[in-house]
Amino acid sequence: MSIELELEEVRPLAAPRLLTRVNARLAWSGMCVAMVGLMAIVCVVFYQVFGRYVLNDSPTWAESLAIVLVLYVTLIGAAVGVRDAGHIGLESFLVMLPDPIRRKVEIVIYALVGVFGACMAYNGWVLGTSVAPYFIPNLHVSEAVRYIPLVLSGVLIVLFAIEHVVAIIRGEEVAPSWN
């Protein structure tokens, strides 16, 4: 009898769901991309300051590259924040609600977040394709590069919002990516 109890306790933890596994890897990869991007921003800005004040020859491409990198870091980091529930919320309001109502409100919140992510992805795609023929002058790459993180972030936000809705319906919690 005790052996059966031990097996029942282990079974729910044995195999995480596919969406959770995929999203956990995507979120972890997103955090890595954001960290590498942040380090790249620091290096590029340091090089620009060094070039301006020490070499007296500021690189013209450094500011444009730093701005593009900031877009990647903030948008991918924001998407990971949605999965880790690090976004701005009114937790004190939700805590005061009874559990059945709180769960319904959380589902509505994450559904709206998912719709917002879908709008980000769609409009980022439309804007990116409209400016693709033009180039960023100092970098000599397409202007569409600025809209790639908007599309990626939107898609990630949709996936992470779906994961949260499914977890709420099942009565589970989404474990943060950094665990």
The torsion angles phi and psi of 141, rounded to 5 degrees, stand at -125, 160
- In the chain, which stretches have pLDDT less than 70? 1-16, 86-90, 179
Give the separation between CA 38 and CA 87, rounded to whole angstroms: 20
pLDDT of residue 99: 85
Q: What pLDDT is recorded for position 107?
A: 92
Query: What local confidence, expressed as pLDDT, does residue 90 receive?
Result: 62
pLDDT of residue 179: 62
**Distance from C-alpha of 147 to C-alpha of 150, rounded to nearest angstrom:** 5
Q: What is the pLDDT of residue 14?
A: 34
Q: Are 56 and 49 within 8 A, CB to CB?
A: no
Question: What's the CA gap between 147 and 136, in Å, rounded?
Answer: 12
User: Which pLDDT does position 114 carry in this prediction?
Assistant: 95
Q: pLDDT value at position 88?
A: 65
What pLDDT is recorded for position 89?
Answer: 65
Residue range 66-103, pLDDT digits in tens: 999 999 999 999 999 988 876 666 677 777 888 889 89
Residue with tokens 């013209």: 60
- If you search the block for the tokens 């995507």, which residue do you land on? 26
At residue 175, the pLDDT reads 81
